[in-house]
Chains A and B, each alone.
Chain A
Amino acid sequence: MPPRLELTKGDYMVDQLPNLGREKEMLEAMGMSSMDDLFADVPEPVRTVGELPLRGPQTEEEIISDARRILGSNVALGDRVSFLGAGLNRNYVPASVFQLVTRGEFLTSYTPYQPEVSQGMLQAMWEFQTLISELVGLEVSNLSVYDSSTAAAEAITCAVRVHDRKAEQKNTVYISELIPPARMSVIYNYTQGGGITIKTLKHNDDGTLNLESLAEARGSCGVYLEQPNPLGILDGGLTKVKEIIGDNTAFILGVAPVSLGIVEAPGNYGVDIVIGEGQALGSPITYGGPLYGIFACTKAYLRQMPGRIVGKSIDVDGKEAFCLTLSTREQHIRRHRATSNICTNETLIALMGAMHMSLLGPEGLQKLANRNLAACYLAKEKLSGIPTISLPHLKNSHFNEFVIELPGLAADCLEYLDTQGLIGGFDLSTWYPKKGNWLLVSFSDQTKSSEIELLAAHLAVWSASLVKEVTV
């Protein structure tokens, strides 16, 4: 190897740039004399003058030291006792998942455009599709979209493409009035371009769907609901939805995938498109991203669905092989007529999901669901025993979370609990401004019974102090 130029100040990047110090040699081979020659085609008026006003470079050791200090100043859920969920629940991801997913052959590969050298990821994603199909009871799954909010949005536009021609209520979709505003905002951004009209479906006082209001959705393109719903309620009434809305209206359901270890596969009660937040299977919460959105449907929606799909095929020798298929739906071929603009998706997080699912197995999933259920029900029992608070939906079934009504503002309660070292839950007035006293408390497989006792004790103290104040 020829000798390299002497490295000088600013050569921190030497560990990333193999040709640092060899610039002259390479330039000379091309008949150039300086790096400036490589940018001679950038007209003078649009050239950057001077250095970027940024901090200096750092070495790996300095970076990790800073990262530990800065991120260490955060309060991690694991540092506290936490009942914060609202769609993202604390979970345990087996160690082998983290170990395997950092294998460079997976981590550093691109979308498998060359199937001959990408059979590993293609097969893993085809297996992911199978795991999801089995979980939700539908024939078709793609290999992930970004998250549950974009999955819901994409499902709605997909439903409109499939049903609008025959729909009596043109370009119209019905959504539960309970939908969290942030999710609704994503849906609005994705659907406003197509001029889709969104109407809301009412819920009963006990939190279940008002099936009479649902009759209005007949003749529309689709209905979007969630199971459990945003209040944590498992709503048996949803098994009647398809019968009410009929074949020409898509039944789209958002699910918590872990619940499906005990809750019926939505494909078995008439759901046409299942979407969901995959996170609880395979991925830490990571401040809300990256997650992975589940998107599964019946064959009727296959050609209008978003995202990448892997199919089984053969190679020229007739040997089994996998490749991306049905790509004529996609942006790189169909351009502005594509079913979605999605290109980069969440493959690696879906791969973590596949690993976790395959390690759990059917009975493991059932047990995981039961652990979540047990924590939620022990909490229901303990918290409903506190005289100063009430559970407005006590008689319903719940998964992962439920609402408690406090004698004061949920925001104040959370502040108090924070001083006691508890992340107490989610202030529902953020979603429903009239519900200032509603606190959404979440429990998962990571909740301990002693933590539930602690929450109950603190809630009792805080509520009692408030009730006393009021009576005085």
Chain B
Amino acid sequence: MSHLFEHYGASGQGYSQPEPMIPTDDIKIPDSLVRSNLPRWPRISEPEMVRHYTWLSSRNFGIDTGFYPLGSCTMKHNPRINEVIAQLPGIADIHPLQPEHHIQGTLAIFHEMQEMLGICAGMDAVTLQPVAGAQGEFTAIRCIQEYFRSRDELQRTKVIVPDSAHGTNPASASMAGFEIVEIPSRKDGRIDLDALRSVVGEDTAAMMITNPNTLGLFEPDIAEAASIVHDAGGQMYYDGANFNAILGRTSPGIMGFDAVHYNLHKTFSQPHGGGGPGSGPIGVKSHLAEFLPGPVVRKRPILPGDKITAVNHEWWYHWYEPEHSIGKVQQWHGNSGAVIRCWAYYRRYGNQLKTMSEHAVLNANYLRHKIIEEAKEKGVSDLFCDGAPVDVAKHEFTLSLAPMKEKMGIGAMDVAKGLLDKGYMAPTVYFPLVVPECMMIEPTETESKDTLDEFAKKFVEVLQEDADTLHNAPVTTKVRRVDEVYAARNLTLSYQFSE
């Protein structure tokens, strides 16, 4: 194994730069601030640096490497044109403090994105500022909080989440200062309306829920849940993590939601980048619009004196600060580079975004069907069951490997590691928490039927392996099962220099 810090070449080796424009020896900074020791960074030439990171990349698995059925994460193909566009100087080399007449192009694209996202979710106003899904949740909950403050409804201190919710939901609401009320799901994985009725009241600020839920199932009673919350005076918040399943078929607005966040890095193909960057715009109904973080983009007809450019001969795009804005959640205008990529993605589908969602759902149901059929044929159907009863799944589905665990002592994690040996990324495991030995599978719309057929076959092959093989899996990967307990007990969070 090679570490970056073992490359420690000749002094001064590294990237070559022009000389400072004036000698710096005579420039005084306060004595107490003069750096005593330079950082022990590596000293490497460009070929060594390129080879190091290329080597590291060879030890990493991306969508480009192979099938990545990581449930809840929507690991769809990332079109490369988006990367090319994001490097154009008109986005990469502009500054958030430039005047409006310098950035009409960016504002035009932001405006188009605000409108498009509003239409897709059935919302009246959109801000692109939040930089990740969790920050979008937090932002929307803050808007709801200020909305109630403006109405003197200070007693609304509780946010309701189902026990199957993403962890970010309770974490975001709690950061905003709300108390969390968790309600149990029904045995079939759906929302329990009686449980909901029993907790709503004058102290309810909002309910946070995703639909399809984290089991990949559409909540048929969602409209009823919305009326229960609304009748109690609360707001409905839609976690957009699973938005990829429903575009053009239904919308949070129609279901009765007041606010929604979008994960542009899921639904609109911003690459996940090993953990980020993302982008988490939010949309709200009109009664919350003036609470959005500012500024948002608006347009007006062009007026005499406007500095016209190629894009604004009809409309002038300008910033607008919402009247009761909660302020900012990121210092500038959010992850603009991600928004531009997702604009390019949207342009590919336009009004046909529905087809994208249909194919996501088609692929998920087809894969589930193939796995079940294949397991029947190979006589291993008794090793798993549905995470919850399903007629038709949405963009993802859950399987419980509890029967296998009971019979052979093999759990979801062992099967996941077995799949790594077959050359696949493992599905999400042990989430949602309500399904024992859960495996959550989301193929996305960008996988071919052939890939799905092959995966179903290999998945069942893994189920047929003996217990020892799976306990020992993976064996074909760069390292074998990593000891996470050791990492936590022997914390080594940086390179230990020998001196």
Contacts and interface: CB of A to CB of B under 8 A. Distances in A.
Contacts of A317: 480
Contacts of B91: 71, 74, 286-287
Contacts of A287: 91, 94-96, 103, 106, 332-333, 336-337
A42 interface: yes
A183 interface: yes
> Which 3 residue pairs of A and B lie closest in terms of their CB atoms, listed nearest first?
A288-B332, A71-B90, A104-B64
Given A30-B369, A116-B478, A374-B21, A186 B328 contact: yes
Interface string A340-374: 11111111110100010111111111111011011
Contact of A96 (B49, B250, B363): B49
Q: Is the interface of B mostly helix, strand, loop or mixed?
A: loop
B445 interface: yes
Interface in B341-362: 344, 347-356, 358-359, 361-362
Given A18-B448, A30-B365, A120-B56, 7 more contacts: A39-B249, A51-B351, A54-B116, A131-B39, A146-B277, A235-B30, A342-B134
B21 A311 contact: no
Given A48-B250, A74-B105, A362-B41, A378 B81 contact: no
B296 interface: no
Contact of A41 (B23, B220, B493): B220
A315 interface: yes
18 contacts: A53-B351, A54-B119, A71-B106, A73-B312, A106-B60, A118-B61, A121-B60, A129-B493, A134-B41, A150-B329, A189-B142, A194-B177, A286-B86, A287-B336, A290-B277, A290-B338, A334-B171, A371-B21
Interface string B219-248: 010110000000000000000000000111
> How big is chain A's contact interface, by range?
35 or more
A416 interface: no
B151 interface: no
B14 interface: yes
A314 interface: yes
Contact of A338 (B167, B309, B330): B167
B13 interface: yes
Given A134-B39, A143-B275, A183 B417 contact: no
A110 B167 contact: no
Given A17-B445, A110-B274, A116 B474 contact: yes
Contacts of A40: 391-392
A269 B32 CA distance: 9
A285 interface: yes
Interface string A195-225: 1000000000000000000000000000000
Max chain B CB contacts within 10 Å: which of A10, A66, A73, A186?
A: A73
Interface residues of B, number: 206
B462 interface: no
Interface string B271-290: 11111111010000000000
Interface in A10-31: 10, 12-13, 16-20, 22-23, 25-27, 29-30
Given A107-B273, A116-B479, A286-B337, A186 B60 contact: no
B366 A71 contact: no
B104 interface: yes
B425 interface: yes
A470 interface: no
A177 to B, nearest CB: 18
B304 interface: no
Interface in B473-499: 474, 477-484, 486-488, 490-495
A285 B92 contact: yes
A197 B166 CA distance: 30
B223 A41 contact: no
Contact of B93 (A35, A55, A77): A77
A253 interface: no
Interface in A216-252: 234-236, 239
Contact of B333 (A96, A123, A288, A448): A288
A69 B477 CA distance: 46
Contact of A347 (B142, B275, B362): B275
B486 A195 contact: no
Nearest to A452: B21
A131 B102 CA distance: 36
B198 interface: no
Contacts of B391: 40-41
A16 B21 contact: no
A39 B17 contact: no
B68 interface: yes
Nearest to A423: B98
B330 A150 contact: yes
A211 B290 CA distance: 41
Interface stretch (A56-64, A383-391, A401-409): A56-64
A316 B301 CA distance: 66
A468 interface: no
